[in-house]
Amino acid sequence: MQTRLSVNVNKIATLRNARGGNLPNLKQVVLDCERFGAEGITVHPRPDGRHIRYSDVYDLKKIVTTEFNIEGYPSKEFIELVLDVKPTQVTLVPDPPEALTSNDGWDTLKYADFLKEIIHQFKNSGIRTSIFVNPDAKMVEHARSTDTDRIELYTESYATNYTTDRDAAIAPFISAAKKAEELNIGLNAGHDLSLVNLHFFNQQIPNLLEVSIGHALICDALYYGLEKTISLYLNQLKK
């Protein structure tokens, strides 16, 4: 089974918002990503609307034909948005609204009851759930008690340490993945994955269902073009 590629289009919205107007055209980029082979679209709306806006989420719901993944901190407004839009998947992240980017996974022991209550709301509406976790087998184990369908491994530490010692960098992720497999929890991954480190990660991690990639992919598209870039990333995901 080949790992699915979900393209995070936040950076496209960031460019658009920098000048106002509609360049680049977010909806057209999403359609092109799917046409070029992406198997999912990810968005992470934040309350300040600095990239993806809540209105974008509603617009994209109308046109996305692959998997639609909305990620974010489960504030009251975010929960209402997700329940209204009903994407394929919601990914819960613990970062506060003012965070520049996601920078940590959930403490699934401390917040187990909090997450479980929210996850049940989403699952009762037929929305697949995933929660952002660090590569810690204990955090994966406690994630089981939240009834989440999947976890998404936060891969920043892997990306940072890949060039110095890739075997050491991948080791905790392998352990976390094996624990997820043991507990029958689906496995996603994301954050700073790129053409440099994606292939090794995908080869080493068992039962990896999906990766969500935005910043590096959009940067690469500036050099290679969007169609070529998506093709390059899909090639990295071949077993």
Catalytic residues: 44, 71, 191
The alpha carbon dihedral of 138, 139, 145, 147 has a sign of negative
Instruction: Tell me whether the omega of the peptide bond preceding residue 24 falls within 30 degrees of 0, making it cis.
Output: yes
- CA gyration radius, the chain: 17
Token pair of 111, please? 């917040």
H helical segments located in the chain: 10-19, 26-35, 54-61, 76-85, 112-124, 137-143, 156-161, 166-182, 198-204, 215-224, 226-236
**Dist. CA 188–CA 229, nearest whole Å:** 21
Residues 6+ apart with CB under 8 A from 147: 116, 119, 120, 123, 129
CB 14 within 8 A of CB 57: no
- Phi, psi dihedral angles at 125 (to 5 degrees): -95, 10
Q: Is 167 helix (H, G, I), strand (E, B) or coil?
A: helix
CB atoms near residue 154 (< 10 Å): 26
* Terminal CA-CA length for the chain: 8
